[in-house]
């Protein structure tokens, strides 16, 4: 059953045009010229309870506008949105009590408060029952390894510690849906790994619906099972991560290093993709020929020293799609 339903949703903004020159500027004081910007156009998608969905697109594609409508901050110009049976902009307070939000570039923490005091503050804000509150604090402190900085004010925390704290605060009241905006931005590889592992674990543990917007394609590969791609306000792809790779990639690449430049390739399912002397790169489709057979065919007729298989990179695929659309 769908938890989030977005049907034929559009959002328009009135943009006032800035006049150039002295006289036009004076004229604009009386009458300002305006135009309509279509931020989102006829967007349709449904998300089930517990799904992990990446919502991606270039800057200005309509991602933030969509999230703001889902969270009740903005009202759609047209179409309908329901989140857990609630129309977000009509029941903002009720909707807010059932959702969590994490912005990678903004913090929900209070600069001078220690984390244990911040937890108490959010307990009162969300009216969390004592037993549930204690259980959740203990659960997230342990899972996010927050013990060492619970008593320190937020201003003394590292970026990675602040992000873990923001996640704990967003989840403290057991929301049914969480919107994550660049949750690993600026973090080192160790901190990113902890955040990604935590997101998957909490989704598995509590069946929380997660909608992720990010420019870090590794976040998508390691967290999400489904991709919704938007460009110029319109959905251009909606499907599983595996199907996305299969549909949009040119195939898998296998690079072999040879003893000499002599090279035989006599199977029509294999294509010489790049020739760099004693290094050859071959393109193939896993659906047409298994990897083991590719390796067998390359090694039985060529003197191979080393080989490397390259999986299709989601970053390269996404980049290629947007370059084509430009």
Contact 308, 255 (CB under 8 A): yes
Which DSSP string corresponds to 252-291? EEEEEEESSS------TT-EEEEEETTEEEEEE-TTTS-H
pLDDT at 251: 78
pLDDT at 287: 82
Q: What is the pLDDT of residues 94-133, one digit of tens each?
A: 999 999 999 877 788 999 999 999 999 999 999 999 999 9
Rounded to whole angstroms, the Cα distance separating 261 from 266 reads 16
DSSP state of 148: G
Whole-model pTM? Answer: 0.80
pLDDT at 321: 81
pLDDT at 25: 66
Encoded tokens for 311: 């999986």
Quote the distance between the C-alpha of residue 117 and its chain's center.
30
pLDDT at 253: 86
93: left (phi over 0), alpha (psi -120 to 50) or beta: alpha
pLDDT at 22: 64
pLDDT at 29: 66
pLDDT at 19: 67
Radius of gyration of the chain (CA): 25
Q: What is the pLDDT along the chain (326 residues), one digit of tens a residue?
A: 689 999 999 999 887 777 676 666 666 666 777 788 889 999 999 999 999 999 999 888 899 999 999 999 999 999 999 999 999 999 999 999 999 999 877 788 999 999 999 999 999 999 999 999 999 999 999 989 999 999 999 999 998 899 999 999 999 999 999 999 888 888 888 889 989 999 999 999 899 999 999 888 889 989 999 999 999 999 999 999 888 887 777 678 899 999 999 999 989 999 888 899 999 999 888 888 999 999 999 999 899 999 998 876 788 788 778 777 76
pLDDT at 24: 67
User: Would you tell me how many other CB atoms lie within 10 Å of the CB of residue 277?
Assistant: 10
Q: Which residues contact 7 (CB under 8 A, 6 or more apart)?
A: 44, 79, 80, 81
């Amino acid at each position: 059953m769908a938890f989030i339903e977005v049907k034929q949703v559009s959002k328009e903004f009135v943009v006032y045009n800035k006049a150039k020159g002295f006289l036009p500027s004076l004229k604009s004081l009386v009458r300002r010229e305006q135009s309509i910007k279509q931020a989102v156009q006829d967007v349709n998608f449904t998300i089930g309870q517990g799904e992990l969905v990446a919502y991606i697109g270039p800057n200005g594609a309509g991602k933030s506008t969509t999230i703001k409508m889902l969270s009740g901050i903005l009202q759609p110009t047209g179409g309908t949105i329901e989140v857990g049976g609630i129309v977000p902009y009509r029941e903002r307070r009720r909707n807010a009590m059932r959702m969590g939000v994490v912005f990678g570039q903004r913090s929900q923490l209070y600069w001078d408060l220690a984390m244990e005091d911040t937890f108490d503050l959010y307990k009162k804000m969300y009216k969390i029952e004592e037993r549930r509150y204690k259980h959740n604090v203990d659960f997230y402190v342990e899972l996010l390894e927050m013990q060492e900085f619970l008593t320190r004010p937020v201003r003394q925390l590292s970026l990675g510690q602040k992000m873990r704290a923001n996640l704990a605060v967003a989840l403290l009241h057991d929301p049914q849906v969480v919107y994550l905006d660049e949750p690993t931005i600026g973090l080192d590889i160790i901190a990113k790994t902890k955040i990604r592992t935590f997101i998957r674990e909490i989704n598995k543990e509590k069946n929380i619906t997660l909608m992720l917007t990010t420019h870090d394609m590794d976040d998508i590969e390691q967290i999400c099972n489904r991709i919704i791609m938007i460009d110029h306000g319109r959905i251009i792809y909606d499907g599983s991560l595996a199907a996305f790779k299969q549909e949009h990639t040119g195939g898998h690449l296998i690079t072999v290093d040879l003893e000499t430049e002599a090279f035989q390739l006599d199977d029509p399912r294999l294509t010489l993709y790049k020739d760099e002397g004693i290094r050859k790169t071959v393109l193939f489709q896993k659906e047409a020929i298994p990897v083991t057979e590719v390796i067998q065919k390359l090694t039985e007729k060529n003197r191979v020293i080393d080989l490397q298989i390259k999986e299709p990179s989601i970053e390269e695929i996404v980049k290629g799609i947007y370059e084509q659309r430009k």
